[in-house]
Amino acid sequence: MNKRPKVSSNTIKRLLSYIFHYKLRFFFVLVCILVSALTSVASSLYLQTLIDSYITPLLLEANPVFDALLKSIITMACIYAVGIICTFLYNRIMVSIAQGVLKEIRDTMFSHMQTLPIRYFDTHTHGDIMSHYTNDTDTLRQMISQSIPQMFSSLITVISVFCAMLSVNVWLTLVIVICITFILNITKFVAGRSSTYFIHQQASIGDVNGYIEEMINGQKVIKVFCHEEAAEKVFDEKNAGLCKDSTAANMFANILMPIMNNLGHLQYVLVAIIGGALALNGVSGLTLGAIASFLQLTKSFNGPISQISQQLNAVIMALAGADRIFKLMDEVSEEDDGEVTLVNVRYKNGELEEVDRRTELWAWKVPNGDGSFRYEELKGEVRFYDVDFGYTEEKIVLHNITLYAEPGQKVAFVGATGAGKTTITNLINRFYDIADGKIRYDGININKIKKADLRRSLGIVLQDVNLFTGTVMENIRYGNLNATDEECIAAAKLANADSFIRRLPQGYDTVLSGDGSGLSQGQRQLISIARAAVADPPVMILDEATSSIDTRTEAIVQKGMDRLMLGRTVFVIAHRLSTVQNSDVIMVLEQGNIIERGPHDDLIAQKGKYYQLYTGAFELE
């Protein structure tokens, strides 16, 4: 390892800033810790008082009266009681603070993640991202609820003992300071090593998490291919890597305490010898008694220091986790500088008027730049002018795409696999931004439309169906959170999903889990269509929405969708030409270029590529 990853001091600052959100409580906690720590200092001082002020005088009395002693013990009992209460309070409050911080960090992280561009999700394994929410966030728990209070408490003890030392002898204290500096340097080295490995460990956990997630997700494929052994082999490698990092990190963390402890012992011996020598030679007016008590102090000085070092481990590990968390939080969000928003409108005296409830009319609310707005009715006209696009800069997948979808048209994209059909729709909803050219939506540059509003105006049924854990009803309602049960059922009927849903064990209340694993692929597609139908959007994109549905059912679904989208713009992508032939215009794509366009009949008459595809479907030989 040539390069040692380091936790920046920035990480610590940021982490603390989360704790400071609980300023008042945290301050109260510090006060409680202070009291609690002072109580324990007081208790170690009490012994001396007990002997010097009570026992020794009492020994001299013929008839000892214990009233004064009793009083002092009761006083101490009161002090202890206060200390115990403080301990209890700070422990409890710290729990709320720690859990509050963890919650806030998780929530912030998730909220931020929602703003990240699709590209981010394409390039990071899901399991590794998931690890941030559990393994990395967990490292913070112990640090905040235990390490910080203990370190602070130990620090107070160290300071008070240090003051006591100074009052006994300045020179010997100097020896201590020198020793401590030396010890701290060693600590820094060991802690640094362990920090490096903890960072590796967290990264390895993320890696293992990522691998497990991906493999378990594809477990059925693994089984089908009898690929278990190979999957185990890679897992073993990653697992061994994690084990190596974890062993190293823990080893350095474990040996920190014995090192501190025993260096403390050596320091003790050193002070004893120096002090003894000084006292015996009568230098600097040290008495033997003073040395004795100084040595006692040295002992109580080392205790908290090694406690601090013990807690350092938790802190180091937490910082390694925090580092990864902040890295996720620092990922750049999707760019969205659009100002045009989507609103529901109605006509009043020939003018468009914004309304809160749902109407069948939408309009773009365009700012005029002087604080006023104008409304442009949403018609569903989408135009591409000379659009170039590539997922990576080196490889352009769409070339010079110019296309126009007139309002209310049904526009179909056909073409061979990989011709760029899905890519075009990914550009309309701005999952990706174009490299060159322009896209206009009702005459508005789509970059000027707020992304959320742009996407809200487009209902999309994607090629890959993703369902969420929850009832069938909830999954349909995902399209429109305000939809009533009746509306959801109506949408399901439109998608021809109603009959099979009713046959499920609990009908619409059947809980789907594992991405709807109990359903067939076609059934999942029907639910996904119902989900889009309930959204009832002004413009719809159907990307291979019916590919796993048998053609009979498809015909029914299509009729329903046509009725729903009457007068609205619809984009359809399909391989099955029967799906697209009633479209107003069909675009034939080949390797990122539109090579033919026109309605079905015209294209057939042209006898070009489309004709070939179409006839090829039924005349193979």
Partner 1 sequence: MIKHLMKSIREYKKDSFLAPIFVTGEVIFEVIIPFLMSKLIDSGIDAGNMNYILRTGAILVVCALVSLSLGFFSGRSAAIASSGFAKNLRRDMYYNVQNFSFANIDKFSTASIVTRLTTDVTNVQNAYQMIIRTAVRSPIMMIAAMVMAFKVAGPLAFVFLACIPILGIGLYFIMTRTHPIFERVFKTYDKLNNVVQENLHGIRVVKSFVREDHEIKKFKDISQDIYNDFSHAEKNLAFNMPLMQICVYGSMLFISWFGARMIVASGNDAAVGLSTGELMSLFVYLMQILMSLMMLSMVFVMITMSKASAERIVEILDETSDITSPEQPVMAISDGSIDFENVSFSYSKNPDKLCLKNIHLHIASGETVGIIGGTGSGKSSLVQLIPRLYDATIGNVRVGGTDVRDYDLEVLRDNVAMVLQKNVLFSGTIRENLRWGNAEATDEELIHACQLAQADDFIRTFPDGYDTYIEQGGSNVSGGQKQRLCIARALLKKPKILIMDDSTSAVDTKTDALIQRAFLTEIPETTKIIIAQRISSVEHADKIIIMDDGEINAIGNHEELLASNPIYQEVYASQVKGGNDHE
C-alpha 173/C-alpha 192 separation (Å) is 28
126 binding partner 1? (CB under 8 A): yes
Site membership for partner 1, residue 45 (CB under 8 A): no
Subset of 353-392 contacting partner 1 (CB under 8 A): 391
Q: Kindly state whether residue 398 participates in binding partner 1, applying the rule CB under 8 A.
A: no
- Minimum CB separation of residue 384 from partner 1 in Å reads 19
- 406, 579 in Cβ contact below 8 A? no
Window 546 to 585, contacts with partner 1 (CB under 8 A): 547-555, 575-578, 581-582
Residue type, 467: L
Tell me the window of 250-258, 321-329, 346-354, 370-378 that interacts with partner 1 (CB under 8 A): 250-258
Rounded distance between C-alpha atoms, residue 144 and residue 319, angstroms: 11
Q: What is the nearest approach in angstroms of partner 1 to the Cβ of residue 96?
A: 6
Per-residue mark of binding to partner 1, 228-247 (x: CB under 8 A): x-xxx--xx--xx-xx--xx
Task: Please enumerate in sequence order all residues whose Cβ is within 8 A of that of 288, keeping only pairs 6 or more positions apart, or say none.
Answer: 279
Contacts of partner 1 in 86-105 (CB under 8 A): 87-88, 91-92, 95-96, 98-100, 102-103
Alpha-carbon gap, residue 475 to 489, rounded angstroms: 12
The helix (H) or strand (E) run that includes residue 354 is strand 351-355
Q: Which of 212, 352, 361, 511 binds partner 1 (CB under 8 A)?
A: 212
Q: Is 248 among the residues that bind partner 1 (CB under 8 A)?
A: yes
Strand pairing report for 373-377 and 362-367: antiparallel
| Cβ-based nearer residue to partner 1, 597 or 600 | 600
* Cα dihedral 488/491/496/501 (nearest 10): -10
**Residue 82 C-alpha from the chain's centroid:** 41
- Shortest separation between residue 426's beta carbon and partner 1, angstroms: 9
Nearer to partner 1, 65 or 566 (CB): 65
The footprint of partner 1 on residues 455-514 (CB under 8 A) is 455-456, 458, 460, 462-464, 466-469, 478-479, 481, 500, 505, 513-514
Contact present, 401 and 424 (Cβ < 8 Å): yes
Compute the least distance from the CB of residue 35 to partner 1, in Å. 12
Least spacing, CB of residue 322 vs partner 1, in Å: 16
Q: Given candidates 522, 598, 599, 608, which one binds partner 1 under the rule CB under 8 A?
A: 522
Q: Give the end-to-end CA distance of the chain in Å, rounded to a whole number.
A: 62
CB of 570 to partner 1, least distance (A): 15
Closest CA to 362 of 374, 379, 348: 379
Phi, psi of 416, rounded to the nearest 5 degrees: -65, 160
Distance separating alpha carbons of residues 172 and 130, to the nearest angstrom: 54
Q: If you compute the radius of gyration of the chain from its CA atoms, what whole number of angstroms results?
A: 36
Residue 466 CB neighbour total at 10 angstroms = 11
> For residues 220 and 374, which CB has a smaller minimum distance to partner 1 in the complex?
220
The candidate with the shortest Cα–Cα distance to 42, out of 88, 70, 84, 93, is 84
Stretch that binds partner 1, among 6-14, 41-49, 159-167, 438-446 (CB under 8 A): 41-49
Tokens, residue 569: 């713009």
Q: How far apart are CA 494 and CA 490, in angstroms?
A: 6
* SS3 call for 590: strand
Distance separating alpha carbons of residues 11 and 110, to the nearest angstrom: 19
Where does this chain touch partner 1 (CB under 8 A) — which range of 177-185, 320-328, 355-363, 517-525?
Answer: 517-525
Q: Which is nearer to partner 1, 8 or 254 (CB)?
A: 254
* Contact flag: residue 292 with partner 1 (CB under 8 A): yes
Which segment (1-9, 18-26, 291-299, 369-377) binds partner 1 by CB under 8 A? 291-299
Stretch that binds partner 1, among 74-82, 161-169, 373-381, 441-449 (CB under 8 A): 74-82
- Least CB distance from residue 59 to partner 1, whole Å? 6
The number of residues that bind partner 1 (CB under 8 A) is 188
